[in-house]
Structure 1
Amino acid sequence: MANGLAERQMIWKSRLFWKVVATTVGFIGFFSLLLGVMIAERQRQDLKTQLLERLRVSAIQLSKTVHPLLMTGEIHSLQEIVHELGDETRTRLTVIQVDGTVIADSGLATSADVANMDNHRHREEIAAALQEGNGNSERISPTLDKEFYYSAVRINGDTGPLGVARAAMSADSIENQIAQVRRILWLCALSAGLFSGLTAYWLVQRMHSQIEQLAEAAQAIAVGGPHQRIQVRSFDEIGHLAESIQTMSAEIAGRIHELQSRNDQLAAILGGTIEGVIAVDQHQKILLANTAASQMLQVSADGAKGRSLIEIVRDETLRRVVHQAM
C-alpha cells in the first residue's frame, strides 16, 4: 500500500504525466471552444431563420384578422382584438397605418397608451413592407429597450395598402437556447477532459512502472550487478526497448562470467607455476604477479598490483630486460 501511494505521488510529480495531460486537455479544450463557437453561430442563424418565419406567419394571420376592420374603418375594437391575439400567440403584434401611425399594439394595455407611441413610418421593416410587401429587421425596441426581431407584411385594400401588420419577438428566446447549447457543449468538453485526464493517468502510470524497471536494469548493468529479468509485457516501443536491454544485460553477464572464469583459470595456472611471472602495462605498472614472483620480490600479490615496477624491483638488470621486452 505504501509503495502504491509513493508511486502515485511520483506520477503526480512526473513531467511526462503533465506533458500528456496538458497536450490532451489543451487539444480538447481548443477544439471544444472552436466547435462551440461554430455550433453556437450556426444554431443562432438557424433559430433566427425559424423565428423570422414564425413571425412572418403570425404577421400574415394578423393581417387577415384585421383586414375586414380596416376595410370598414371600424378600428375602435382593434386594440382589444390585437391584445388578445398577442397573448394567445405569445408574440408582440402591432398594426400600423400607411402614414406610420400605430393603431394597435399587443404590448400595451389601452388605446391611449398606443396613441402615445412614436410614428413607425421610417422603421426598417415597415418601410420595406409598404414598398415590397414584407420586411424583416433586428434592433433594440425603443419602447421596451430590448432587442427584438421584427417581421412585417403589407395589408392590401381594393385601391391600395391599408396599413402594415407586424409581429415581433424578443431575442431572449434565441439567446436562451444558445446558452443551453453552450452549457451542453461545455459539459461534454468537461466530461471529455476528465476522461482524457484519467486515461492519461492510467497510461503514464503504466509507462512509469515500465520505465522504472528499465532504469533499474540499466543501473544494474552500469554497476556490474547481476542480470535482472525485466517484467515488461508490452508490444510497443517500450517493450522492444525492454527486450533489447534484457538481451544486452544477458550478454554482458555472460561475458563477465566468461572473463571471470578465464581469470580464475589464469590465476590457477600462474599460482601453480614455480617460475615468477609478472605482467606490466605500457607504463610499467604491475598488473599481476604470481605467488613465486611475490615471494621473490618479497611483497604480496595484492600489494604489488598497481604499483610501479621501479618501486618493487630493485634489480637494475631485471628492469632493463623488462624495458627491452616492451
Structure 2
Amino acid sequence: MKQYRNRLTLIILTLIGLSMVGAGLAMVKVFKDSHIRMLEQNMTREIKLLQATMEFADMNSDTAIDYYTDLALRLREISEVRVTFIKNDGTVIGDSEMDPRTMDNHADREEMLRAVEEGQGSAVRYSSTLNEDMLYVVLPVQAGTAYDGYIRLSVTLQAVDSGIRQGWMMMGAGLFVLFVIAAVVSYRVSREITSPLEKITKVARRISRLEYDARVDIQRKDEIGHLASAINGMADSLQTQLRTIRDNEDLLQSVLNNMTGGIIMVNQAGIIVLINRAAEEMLGVQAKVVTGKSYRELRQHYELTKLIEDGMASRSSFREERTLYPAESIIRMDGVTMVQEDGSYRGMLFHLQDVTDIRRLERMRSEFVANVSHELKTPLAAVKGFTETLLVGGVSDEKTARSFLQIIYDESERLNRLIGDILELSKIESKRIQMDYSPIHLSSFFDTITEMMRAVAEKKRITLDVDVSEELFLEGDEDKLRQIFVNLISNSVNYTQEGGKVEVTAREIPGGDNQDDMIEIVVKDSGIGIPKKDLPRIFERFYRVDKARSRGSGGTGLGLSIVKHLVEQHHGRISVDSEVGVGSSFMIELPILQEMNEM
C-alpha cells in the first residue's frame, strides 16, 4: 500500500511537472520565434539600407574579391554581424569571417534557395565555421551594372539561447518549489485515501492465508467504510462456506479412501481427474503420478484401458470382468456416464472391484460339490452293486458272500469317515469349534502318538524316530494337536516305502522384538515325495497327488486341509518341502503361549 501511496504522489507530481514543462516549452518557442522574427526584420532593413547607401564596385573585376572582403570587414565592425557578398551563381566574392576563395559555392544553401524562389530568404542552422547556431538573412541586390547578386547577413543566436537558459532556470526554480508543495499536499491526500485501503488489504491477505477470522476495523460512513463492511460480510460468508466445503471434502475423501472398491474418474477429454487409494493398490499406480494425465498412462493394464476407451467412445454404462497380470487378479469394472444438469457429457466414472476371492470361492465350491459327489458316489456304487448281487441270490458260496459283506462294510466305513471329515472341516472353517488350551508336555505327547502308529510302521518295516527334548512345553488344544500330527505321521508312513524312515523333531525358536517364542515341529520322511507343481495345492480340499494310491490307502483328500486349518486355529504356520524320490518334510511353527493370540 505504501507503494500505491508513493505511486499516487508520483503521478500527481508528474502531471504537475509535465504541465510546467509543456508551458515552459511553449513559452520558449514563442520567445525564440518572436526574437528571431525581430532579428530578421532588422537584418532585412539593414540589407536594404546597405543597398541604398553603399558604393558598389564591379563584381567581375580582378580586385572585386579584395574590395568586397574589405567592405564586409568594415561593416562587421560597425554592425557586429557577419556580412557575405554572393554572385547570382552562388560564388562568394566577399565575407567578413573567411577568405572567399576558400569558401564553397552557396547556391544550394537553404536561405539562398528561398531568396531565389521568394525574393527573400532566411534560415536558422548550425555554422561549422563558428561552431554555433546562426540566423541567416539573404536579399537580392542590384546596383546598376556594377553589382547584381545577393547580400547575406548572419548573426549568432547566442543571446537568444542565453535568454532561454535564464527562462529555464527561473522555471526550474518555480517547478521545484511547486514540487515541494505538491509533494506535501499529495502525500497527505494519498495517505488519507490509502491508509484505510492498506488496512483492508492486510485483512484480505490474511483471509487469503486461510485466516478466516480476520476482520476490517474501520468505522466510516463513506465509500471506504462501505467497502470495509462488504469485506467483513464477505469474510463471514466465506468462512461459513469454506467450513462446509472442508467438511464435505473431508467426508468425501474419507469415503473414497476407505472404500474397498477402486474409483477412477475420467473427464470428457480422457484425463484422469480422480483415483482413490483402492484403485492405486489394485493397479499398482500412484495418484500423484497419473492424476491430470490421460487414462492411456494405465497402458500396463491393456484390458482395463481398452474397456475405458470403449466406454468413452460409446458413452454408455457397462459391466465387465478382466484379469490383470502378472498378479492374475480378476477385476470387475462398472462404467457409469457422468452428465451435468443441462445434460452435457462430463466424462465417465469407473468402479473397480477385486472379485478374485469371490471367483476362487465359487470355483472351490463347485469343485467341492463335484469332489464330494464323486467321493460319495464311489463307495455308494460299490455298496449298491454288492448288495444287489446278494439280494438276487447270485452268491451261493458263504465265503464269497462274507467277502462281499466285508467290502460293503469297508465302503460304508470309508463313507462314514468321509462324511465325518467333511463335517469336521465345515466346523473348523466356520470357526464353530471350541479351542481348549492347556499346557502340553511335547515329549510325552509324541510318545503317545508314535506308540499308536508304531504297529503300522513296523508292519512296513519303517523306522519311526522321535527327537523331542524333555524340557519343551506348548500351550494348545491337545485333541486338535493330536489330530494334526496323527494325520501327518500317518501320511508319512503310508507314503514311505518299506524299510524307510519317518522322523519327528521339535525345537524352540526364540522370538525377536514384539514377537512370541515359537516351537518348530518337523515331520520328515524318506517317502516318494511330492512333485513341485503340486506343492502349492496339497492343502486344498480333495486335492490328491496320487489319486489311485490315496484311494487305496483309504484317504478322503481332506486330511491336509484339516491340518492347515487346525494349525491356523493355533495361530501357527505350516509349510512343506519335498523332492520326488527323496522324501517330504512338513514344518509347523506354533506359539508357546496362546493368551495374547486368542481372539
After TM superposition, the score normalised by the length of structure 2 is 0.28
Greater relative contact order (Cα < 8 A, sep 6+): 1
Q: Which has the higher strand share?
A: 2
Q: Which has the higher helix share?
A: 1
